[in-house]
Amino acid sequence: MKSNLSQIKHWVFDLDHTLYDPKVKLFDQIEVLMNTYLKKTLNITQEKAIYLRKYYWEKYGTTLAGLMAEHEIDPEYYLEFVHNINLNDVKVNLKLASYINSLDGNKIIFTNGSRMHAKNVSKALGLYNCFSGFYGTEDAKLIPKPHKKAFENIFKISRVNPKSAVMFEDDPRNLVEPFKLGMKTVLVGDYFEADYIHFNTPDLNTFFKEELNG
């Protein structure tokens, strides 16, 4: 492995659009269910639901965080409802499993979705046994990324030392606080240049092929 990652002992992975390609469109299903939840719970139109979902995401970090801030809702029911998706189109990624298994240290998933969603999707990808821990927003005390406290909550219970850790994410804003905490940062997906991003990669297989063989 290249020297700039040789000291990494903790590998923290986001889930959606990070461990799998956005073309799989799992989050498209989640967005449909979010809209349905908003329409039924708040008695609003489809157009209003789409608007609120974007508004909550931009202001609070997630739709759930927005709903909790502005409405009295049951977060447990919400998480179960919006993650009840079909995983039939998810393909096992044996190459990625091999790469992750070859890494030394602690490997976890931290998602703004639910813990069960992380487990279900990782199983469908053939990656479940690669990780020592699965952490959802409920484990972060319902504080979402990109907020600093969300990372601190997860790193405390997972015993991740940011100074010897790397974070893989598809959303640039979710790498700001990890960078400030001393982590290496890897943006997965479209290229985005920022001081707080150490690596850009189109996908994890490409990243590990280059870094592990470097």
What are the two backbone dihedrals, phi and then psi, of residue 182, each rounded to the nearest 5 degrees? Answer: 105, 10
What per-residue confidence (pLDDT) applies to 2? 57
3-class SS of residue 91? coil
Of 61, 82, 103, the last residue of a domain is 82
How sure is the predictor about 213, in pLDDT bands with cuts at 50, 70 and 90? confident
E strands present in the chain? 10-13, 106-110, 133-135, 165-169, 184-188, 199-201
| Number of domains present in the structure of the chain | 2
Judge if 145 and 42 occupy the same domain: no
Judge if 98 and 198 occupy the same domain: yes
Query: ω into residue 178 within 30 of 0, thus cis?
Result: no
Return the H-helix or E-strand segment holding 198.
none
Judge if 39 and 99 occupy the same domain: no
Judge if 115 and 38 occupy the same domain: no
How sure is the predictor about 17, in pLDDT bands with cuts at 50, 70 and 90? very high
E strands present in 34-76? none
For the stretch 20-36, pLDDT in tens is 999 999 999 999 999 99
Average pLDDT over residues 179-194: 97
Exposure b/e, 63-81, CB count within 10 A at least 16 = b:
bbbbbbeeeeeeeeebbee
Confidence check: pLDDT of 164 > 70: yes
Confidence check: pLDDT of 5 > 90: no
For the stretch 79-133, pLDDT in tens is 999 999 999 999 999 999 999 999 999 999 999 999 999 999 999 999 999 999 9
Judge if 44 and 114 occupy the same domain: no
Provide the CATH number for the domain around residue 67. 1.10.150.450
What per-residue confidence (pLDDT) applies to 69? 93
Query: Chain-wide mean pLDDT for the chain?
Result: 95
Judge if 48 and 102 occupy the same domain: no
- From CA 42, how far away is CA 151, in angstroms rounded? 30
Judge if 106 and 63 occupy the same domain: no
Judge if 101 and 164 occupy the same domain: yes
Judge if 75 and 129 occupy the same domain: no
Closest residue by Cα to residue 47 from 35, 31, 58, 59: 35
Q: Percent of the chain having pLDDT more than 90?
A: 95
Average pLDDT over residues 65-83: 95
Inter-CA distances, 82 with 45, 106, 124, 151, 156, Å: 18, 29, 18, 23, 27
For the stretch 144-156, pLDDT in tens is 999 999 999 999 9
Average pLDDT over residues 135-148: 97
- From CA 85, how far away is CA 79, in angstroms rounded? 11
* Structural domain for 34, as ranges: 26-82
The more confidently predicted of residues 2 and 72 is 72
Of 46, 61, 82, the last residue of a domain is 82
152: tokens are: 């601190």
Judge if 143 and 58 occupy the same domain: no
Average pLDDT over residues 176-204: 97
Provide the CATH number for the domain around residue 103. 3.40.50.1000
Judge if 62 and 166 occupy the same domain: no
Of 37, 59, 82, the last residue of a domain is 82
Give Cβ neighbours of residue 116 (< 8 Å, ≥ 6 apart): 79, 80, 83, 136
The more confidently predicted of residues 214 and 19 is 19
Judge if 39 and 13 occupy the same domain: no
What per-residue confidence (pLDDT) applies to 212? 85
